[in-house]
Amino acid sequence: MSRLLQGIDLVEIQHLREFIQRHSARLEEIFSPAELEYALARTDPSVPLAGRFAAKEACLKALGLGLGMGEGLGALRAVEVLRLPSGRPQLSLSGWVERRSRQLGVCDINLTFSHTGHYAVASVVMLTKTGEELV
């Protein structure tokens, strides 16, 4: 039996822009070197970083986790947004977030995100192979 797990998150780009201005040294706690390299090569890095932040939060929500659990901001760093050669985004999980996905039997993860001038939104859908209930 299979089960779908879904998470969605919306980020106000201006809010993330202000966070970057005030706490730029903390970006490495949230984003991987590859994510930062991609974003910082853009005219306005807050746009791709907002999308990636939303993707990380949506992933945690799909897994039934939150920032108050486990490692706090470290949970965000355990979720990385990669780009396939086609440009399609893909999630890579590590640490306790990856262990949680294995516990739930996650066998496939799909990510999509988009942004406007003001907001970034991300949706994560996971397929489990076991149909286990969230604990």
Q: Is residue 49 one of the residues assigned to a domain?
A: yes
Residue 135 lies in a domain: no
Question: In the chain, how many domains are there?
Answer: 1
Q: Is residue 133 part of a domain?
A: no
Q: Flag whether pLDDT at 122 surpasses 60.
A: yes
Report pLDDT digits (tens) over 74-111.
789 999 999 999 999 999 999 989 999 999 999 999 99
Residue 134 domain-assigned?
A: no
| pLDDT, tens digit (0-9, with 9 covering 90-100), for 23-75 | 999 899 999 999 999 999 999 999 999 999 999 999 999 999 876 555 566 78
Question: 114 lies in a domain?
Answer: yes
What is the maximum span of the chain, computed from C-alpha positions, in angstroms?
47
Comparing C-alpha atoms, which of 1, 51, 53, 3 is closest to residue 23? 53
Q: How far is the C-alpha of 80 from the C-alpha of 86, rounded, in Å? A: 17
| Contact in structure between 5 and 132 (CB atoms under 8 Å) | no
Distance CA 103, CA 135 (A): 10
Domain hosting residue 113, numbered range: 3-128
